[in-house]
Structure 1
Amino acid sequence: MPKIVVTQPVHAEVLQTLQAAGEVVMNPGPEPWSDAERQRHLADAEAMMAFMTDRVDQDTLLNAPRLRTIACALKGYDNFDLAACAAAGVSVSFVPDLLTEPTAELAVGLAIAAARHVLPGDNVVRTGYAGWRPTLYGTGLHGSVVAVVGLGAVGRAIVDRLSGFGCAEMLGVDPQHEDPRVQRVGLDEALARADYILLATPLTPASHHLIDDAALARVRPGLILVNIGRGSVVDEAAVSRALHNGHLGAYAADVYEMEDWLLPARPRAVHPGLIGHARTVLTPHLGSAVQRVRLAIELRAADNMIRALRGEALTHLAIALT
């Protein structure tokens, strides 16, 4: 039977499915394996179920000579060197559609939490609430100009949810995708006009540090910036500077530069200027953290893995092997 390495704990139903297909070695979690430990398990493995904490590069593959397929229980695969996988004959599958709605929900929730001072308000109540006071006034989505950067599946799902809030205008920034419900503009125009910007773009060479010092200098004062795409789309140090000089109104994020494992210069922690600032709302990659969604993602990844081991064709391949 093939050896299957699962780098994070999965639901019992998923584990049983995998055990019927091969010999399973699973990380009991929740902490990820070290690179050395993961590599030790992969040395004689045919298949790997991968999660957000994993990265696969050429060195990984050189030391996993029997590896045939990587089933990613996630949507983005920028932490995997796809060219190296192709050269090694390793297929990489992913789950592109099941994370869309929960991630879009979280994006809107983060925008509201940041703009309406939810965390400071929570602290007021917990530290001795004496009744209402005329403080913590924020801004609302109703009557505001909101820009969505990235109009792929998640971006369009964000527009779905924003459509009920009575925004004054909805802008869309994406050179490849369109949505008839938004006014398509360039990034510079969105920066200049928007009260909120929600980032839903994948990490590519073109989008790396898309929001940097120069971009933040062009935003409307008080902008609410939300990032649920990839951490390194934003230069966290630049965001920290914009928050501390008062030009940026608030920053909310579910993704961080430290998570983009394949980038050699990635920071090893969330920028301390974000951690220590009162106008940030920071969540630990909760975009798909809905129980039934996680189960569905794991089941889809397991199915992708088993089909690949059988030599069957897969729909959602990051690499189309020929």
Structure 2
Amino acid sequence: MARLPRVVVTHWTHPEALAYLAGFCEPVAPGPAPGVWSRAEVLDRAATAEGLLVCMADSVDDEFLAACPRLRVISAALKGYDNFDAEACARRGVWLTILPDLLTEPTAELAIGLTIAVMRQVPAADRAVRGGDFAGWRPRFYGAGLAGATVGILGMGRLGQALAERLAGFSVTVRYADPRPLDPERERALGVHRSSTTELLRRSDVVLPLLPLTRQTRGLIDARALREFKPGAYLVNIGRGSVVDEEAVADALEAGTLAGYAADVFAMEDWLLPGRPDRIPARLLENPRTVFTPHLGSAVDGVRREMSLAAARQLRQALSGQRPDHAVNDPAR
């Protein structure tokens, strides 16, 4: 009987996905308790593996690939793949696949939640109630509302459009900046207006950068960009941590020029970037006008189940000699 290909799943995943994998490979995964293997633990198990099913906590570079010479496919259960060297994978004959669509809706929902939370000072108010500092209504924690606000979206891809659709019910003006404009009919359907980046920053009450992490976008929202912000504006980051200069954000919060900062992503997560910080700046964590969630963009149970299954299906395609549906490279064999 022929040996089944070995596939290492680097993180806890749903039993349905493991059962699907067991139909065509030998899956090796953490469990049963939720967890993620470290890089060393993954390498130890992947040295003889043909496939990997990876998550945001992983990173793959040429050194990693050299230690796993039998790899044929890396299937990422995520959309942004800046932590994975696609060119190095291609050089070594390894497919790299992603999930372009499944994360869009839950991430757009979280963006709305974080925006409201930071504008209405929800975390500070919650702490006051839990700390016993509440004896009935008092004129405190007055924040800002979305109604009548201008929301600026940097990047109008799938996520930007999904966010614009959800903002339609909030009586806001939506501006976007993107080098590739939407067609006029789509702009009208979404009710959005294209601006330059500078105009968007100057006129928006809330700014959301929804951009992939590239050389051009790293640190895009830096001290200089923050000086262009409308006084009292809010910044919400659900895209990639390093698109925002976190120290510059802390400075703007302390100076009072930025009214609040909410984030689901952080620069410390961008594993392959040289010089990345190893922690979130303490000044941000301690600032009462911040709201943070631990990378929950796609953390909806049903969505994560479907993501694992979709990533497993791409593994099957690659291991059976097909081109995976959502490959981001084209390895030469």
Q: Which interval holds the TM-score relative to the shorter structure?
A: over 0.9
Contact 1:152 1:177 in 2 (8 A): no
Select the residue among 157, 161, 165 that pairs with 1:160: 165
Letter in 1 for 2:15: A
**Residue 150 of structure 1: how far off its partner (Å):** 1.1
Between 78-87 and 169-178, the greater mean CA deviation after superposition: 169-178
Once residues 199 and 283 of structure 1 are traced to their aligned partners in structure 2, the CA distance between those partners, rounded to angstroms, is 16
Deviations 1:204-243 (A, max 9, x none): 1111011001011111111110000000000111101111
Deviations 1:18-39 (A, max 9, x none): 1221122112364432322211
> Does residue 1:131 correspond to 2:150, yes or no?
no
> Does residue 1:23 correspond to 2:26, yes or no?
yes
Letter in 2 for 1:65: P
Match in the other structure for 1:121: 125
Once residues 36 and 105 of structure 1 are traced to their aligned partners in structure 2, the CA distance between those partners, rounded to angstroms, is 35
**Aligned ranges 1:247-262 → 2 under 5 Å:** 247-262=257-272
Stretches of structure 2 that go unaligned for 5 or more consecutive residues are none
**Aligned ranges 1:80-95 → 2 under 5 Å:** 80-95=84-99
Match in the other structure for 1:219: 229
Match in the other structure for 1:236: 246
Letter in 1 for 2:163: I
**Residue 304 of structure 1: how far off its partner (Å):** 0.5
> Does residue 1:316 correspond to 2:326, yes or no?
yes
Between 71-80 and 121-130, the greater mean CA deviation after superposition: 121-130
Deviations 1:80-111 (A, max 9, x none): 00110010010011111011000000001100
Contact 2:181 2:194 in 1 (8 A): no
Contact 2:91 2:331 in 1 (8 A): no
Letter in 2 for 1:154: L
Stretches of structure 1 that go unaligned for 5 or more consecutive residues are none
> Does residue 1:301 correspond to 2:295, yes or no?
no
Q: How many residues align?
A: 321
Q: 1:2 to 1:299 in 2, by over 3 A?
A: same
> Does residue 1:170 correspond to 2:174, yes or no?
yes
Once residues 316 and 22 of structure 1 are traced to their aligned partners in structure 2, the CA distance between those partners, rounded to angstroms, is 20
**Residue 55 of structure 1: how far off its partner (Å):** 0.3
Once residues 281 and 287 of structure 2 are traced to their aligned partners in structure 1, the CA distance between those partners, rounded to angstroms, is 11
Q: Give the secondary-structure state (helix, strand or coil) at the position aligned to 1:289.
A: coil
Q: Give the secondary-structure state (helix, strand or coil) at the position aligned to 2:251.
A: helix
Contact 1:107 1:228 in 2 (8 A): yes
Contact 1:77 1:318 in 2 (8 A): no
Letter in 2 for 1:49: L
**Aligned ranges 1:179-218 → 2 under 5 Å:** 180=187, 181-218=191-228
Select the residue among 8, 14, 17 that pairs with 1:14: 17
Letter in 1 for 2:51: A
Once residues 31 and 272 of structure 1 are traced to their aligned partners in structure 2, the CA distance between those partners, rounded to angstroms, is 26
**Aligned ranges 1:271-310 → 2 under 5 Å:** 271-310=281-320
> Does residue 1:268 correspond to 2:273, yes or no?
no
Q: Give the secondary-structure state (helix, strand or coil) at the position aligned to 2:89.
A: helix
**Aligned ranges 1:51-130 → 2 under 5 Å:** 51-128=55-132, 129-130=134-135
The share of aligned pairs that are identical, in percent, is 48
Deviations 1:34-70 (A, max 9, x none): 3222111111110000000000000001111000000
Letter in 2 for 1:44: T
Q: Report the TM-score, using the length of structure 2 for normalisation.
A: 0.94
Deviations 1:247-284 (A, max 9, x none): 11000000000111110211111111111100000000
Match in the other structure for 1:46: 50
RMSD between aligned residues: 1.2
Once residues 28 and 146 of structure 2 are traced to their aligned partners in structure 1, the CA distance between those partners, rounded to angstroms, is 47
Letter in 2 for 1:215: A
